[in-house]
Copies of this chain bind each other. A is one copy, B any other.
Amino acid sequence: MTASQIETLGAEVKEASREVSRSSGVTRQTALRAAAETLRSERSTILTANEADLRSAEEAGLTATALDRLRLDAGRLEAMALGLETVASLPDPVGATVAGSVRPNGLKVTQVRRPLGVIGVIYENRPNVTSDAAGLCLASGNAAFLRGSSSSIRSNMAITAALRAGLGEVGLPEAAITLVEDTSHETAAAFMRLEGIIDCLIPRGGPSLIASMREHATVPYVLDGDGNCHVYVDRHADLDMAVRIIVNAKTQRPGVCNAMESLVLHAQVAHEVLGRLAVEMPEVRLLGDEAACTISPDMEAASPEDFGTEFLDLVATVRVVEDLDAAIDHVNRHSSGHSEAIVTSDVTAAERFLDEVEAAAVLLNASTRFVDGSELGLGAEVGISTQKIHARGPMGLEALTSTRWVIRGEGQTRT
């Protein structure tokens, strides 16, 4: 695909986005429900396309993990349809007034939520993202401009066709959900440079995708980055609670971004906590600093890089500190800006940690696993932003909107 071809495709998506942005919430919700139904009725077509993707991927030697991410079955397809129906039941963010006042000169000023326009999504090989992302975009009045990976292209095309049929049923333009079918790197780079077309680009992928976005993107973007999440156990902590939180944060689902990757222990409780963890989560490989290895002579030594690593596995670093300042300093130094927790019964330590640690979420006496759109009441999750501008932390439908100033006068002029 040439740069000019992707611009032409983008112009169609932009045009469709205008129509979607003007459509009523009930139209968009009906479209989402119709899309869920077409996903169900097109099940065999989608699964056949997915089988073809899987065969190519096996021949290309993809790992078992990658193949599992790529695989669809009746259950996963039904989960996608239910996902669309869930999003359709959320309150429509479009048109909400977020602030307003009457100025001394009588101007009535409000700030009103509007769709961003065209949301670009670049993602890796999980085909369900096609449906999830399109649903979130449509529910918030946006058009979805999707660029998935080459390994899932047949699945993504089949899913997109089904979703578009749903749009067509309610009279919305099918271009409002558009998949870029050319999966070359050149086209991806051109996609990231569609100024005036893509209003916000969201990557769903690993560090190499994010590095490529920073390098190539000229359109605005929101980064869904890594989570190198810490749990700090203070000197004054209920150690039963601390161990419960650590085990939950590390082991309940180790492969996700809000799992704990680093444990920070006050020196006065380190011995006790490490002893209990050896019993409560023996399956976790701990990599310690010098003090931790002195306490637990069997513990492997952590390398300096380990303290900055998101393992996404049953592995965690351990750092022993002499006081709260050292704990905050260590967390701020290694944090990826995602979620950081303290376990303490001391109110001064609690408030200082909550105030001084810079991350999208800071937690007191709770597992980092709670930092998630559904757990925090957002209904659906677009992603978890680890940047500070636009949206920080779990993003719901509102993160796919902007606010516009609406000013009503009676002929006022400025003096």
Contact = CB atoms under 8 A, between A and B. Distances in A.
- Max chain B Cβ within 10 angstroms of own Cβ: one of A103, A393, A394, A405: A405
B407 A403 contact: no
Nearest to A253: B414
A325 to B, nearest CB: 12
Nearest to A248: B413
A320 interface: no
Interface in A242-259: 244-245, 247-249, 252
B388 A220 contact: yes
Contacts of A364: 407-409
Interface string A366-408: 1101110001110000000001111011100000001111111
A407 to B, nearest CB: 4
Nearest to A409: B366
Contact of A409 (B332, B365, B405): B365
Contacts of A214: 195, 218
- Max chain B Cβ within 10 angstroms of own Cβ: one of A222, A332, A377, A415: A377
Question: Do most interface residues of chain A lie in helix, strand or loop, or is the interface mixed?
Answer: mixed
Contacts of A248: 413-414
A365 B405 contact: no
A392 B200 CA distance: 13
A59 interface: no
Contact of A407 (B241, B252, B358, B371): B371
Interface string A340-381: 000000000000001110111111111101110001110000
B103 A376 contact: yes
Contacts of A148: none
A411 B220 contact: no
Nearest to A387: B220
A365 B411 contact: yes
A116 to B, nearest CB: 5
A298 interface: no
A132 to B, nearest CB: 21
Nearest to A238: B411
A103 B218 contact: no
Contact of A362 (B238, B359, B407, B410): B407
A65 interface: no
A389 B200 CA distance: 7
Nearest to A365: B409
Interface of A: 18, 21-22, 101, 103, 107, 109, 114, 116-117, 195, 199-200, 214-215, 218, 220, 222, 238, 241, 244-245, 247-249, 252, 332, 354-356, 358-367, 369-371, 375-377, 387-390, 392-394, 402-415
Given A392-B404, A394-B405, 8 more contacts: A107-B370, A117-B388, A252-B414, A362-B404, A364-B409, A365-B408, A366-B407, A367-B414
